[in-house]
Amino acid sequence: MKIAMALAALALTTNASPTLGKTAVQAPAPQTAPAPAATGLPITTVTQWLTAQGLTVSPLEGEADAPRVRVSGDDLTWTLNFNGCQNQVCGDLQFGAGFRNPTVTEARVNEWNTRNRFLKSFYVAPAQAGGEGTGMVQYDVILLPGLGVEQLTDHLAVWRGLLPAYATHIGYFVSEQPATPQAQ
């Protein structure tokens, strides 16, 4: 009877455990997912588009992970930084410019930020006492997949429209005063 109970218990255990008495099968090794495709715009597409907009674009500068170009137009030179890049295709951009002169103060930079949207500025104190401060201004753009370079049209218009206003506010451009009427 004890032998019959032991055999019955063994039979139950064998049926309950599907791997008992079988060769274990190893799960396949996990496959490495392919690297995601780069999203954004190719640097060359952006620089060619800027040139087509009447701007002068310098050759690419900087490191592979932080490339940038200098852009000139509208009597100003500014920098376009390419960020989030993979194989020269970048997911976001940062427009930037800096202005140094005696009228740049932390108060003027703060006044700009209080009264204006989109272009944000920060103050860089002079390296030496009595030196000139620098007003830096930036505008960030996230590139959306599938929209092509045309998605930059409005962003470039904002930048080109507000940058001269910032340069005037900070004292780089002298604002034109309205003509004083002649006394009669």
pLDDT tens readout for residues 32-73: 655 556 689 999 999 999 999 999 999 999 988 789 999 999
User: pTM for this structure?
Assistant: 0.74
Is the per-residue pLDDT at 14 higher than 90?
Answer: no
Domains of the chain: residue spans and CATH: 41-169 (3.30.1460.10)
How high is the pLDDT of residue 118? 94
Q: Which amino acid is at 141?
A: V
The 10 Å Cβ neighbour count of residue 146 is: 6
Both tokens of 140, joined, read 């960030």
Rounded (10°) CA dihedral 151, 152, 155, 157: -110
Looking at per-residue confidence, does 10 or 163 come out higher?
Answer: 163
- For 169-176, the CB contacts below 8 A with 24+ separation are 169/108, 169/111, 169/112, 170/99, 170/101, 170/103, 170/104, 170/108, 170/109, 170/112, 170/121, 170/135, 171/99, 171/101, 171/102, 171/103, 171/104, 171/108, 172/99, 172/101, 173/75
Q: 171 pLDDT exceeds 80?
A: yes
Is pLDDT above 80 for 173? yes
